[in-house]
Amino acid sequence: MNEAVAARAAGRTARVARKTKETEISVELTLDGTGAYSVSTGIGFLDHMLEQLSRHSLIDLTVEAKGDLHIDFHHTTEDTGIAIGEAVAKALGDRAGIRRWGDALVPMDETLTRVALDASNRPYLIWKVVFTKPKLGDMDTELFKEWFQAFAQAAGLTLHVENLYGENNHHIVESCFKGLARALRTAVEIDPRKADAVPSTKGVLGGSL
pLDDT tens readout for residues 37-55:
999 999 999 999 999 999 9
Which residues are 67's β-sheet partners?
23
The pLDDT assigned to 208 comes to 45
Give one DSSP letter per residue of 139-175, joined into a string. EETTHHHHHHHHHHHHHT-EEEEEEEE-S-HHHHHHH
DSSP state of 192: T
C-alpha span between 111 and 36 (Å, rounded): 26
The pLDDT assigned to 7 comes to 53
177, 52 contact by CB (below 8 A)? yes
pLDDT band at 1 (very low <50, low <70, confident <90, very high): low
- Percentage with pLDDT > 90 across the chain: 84
CA dihedral of 146, 94, 53, 106, whole degrees rounded to 10? 90
Q: Is the pLDDT of residue 16 over 80?
A: yes
The pLDDT assigned to 68 comes to 96
The pLDDT assigned to 153 comes to 98
Question: Which domains occur in the chain, in start order?
Answer: 3-188 (3.30.230.40)
The pLDDT assigned to 201 comes to 47
- What b-and-e string marks burial along 186-209, b requiring 16 or more CB atoms within 10 Å of the CB? bbbbbeeeebeebbeeeeebeeee
Nearest by Cα to 117 from 182, 20, 31, 198: 182
The pLDDT assigned to 207 comes to 58
The pLDDT assigned to 189 comes to 95
Q: Is the pLDDT of residue 209 over 50?
A: no
Q: Rounded to the nearest 10 degrees, what angle do helices 143-155 and 169-188 cross at?
A: 10
The per-residue pLDDT of the chain, averaged, comes to 92
Report, as an integer, the average pLDDT of 119-137.
Answer: 96
- Amino acid letter, 46: L
More confident residue, 201 or 137: 137
Q: What is the pLDDT of residues 62-90, one digit of tens each?
A: 999 999 999 999 999 999 999 999 999 99
27, 83 contact by CB (below 8 A)? yes
Residue 89 vs residues 12, 14, 79: alpha-carbon distances, Å: 10, 9, 15
Q: What is the pLDDT of residues 89-98, one digit of tens each?
A: 999 999 999 9
pLDDT band at 205 (very low <50, low <70, confident <90, very high): low
The pLDDT assigned to 13 comes to 97
Q: Is the pLDDT of residue 200 over 80?
A: no
Residue 159 vs residues 31, 66, 144, 173: alpha-carbon distances, Å: 18, 27, 14, 15
Nearest by Cα to 43 from 133, 180, 137, 130: 137
Range with lowest mean pLDDT among 27-36, 64-73, 177-186, 198-207: 198-207
Whole-model pTM over 0.75: yes
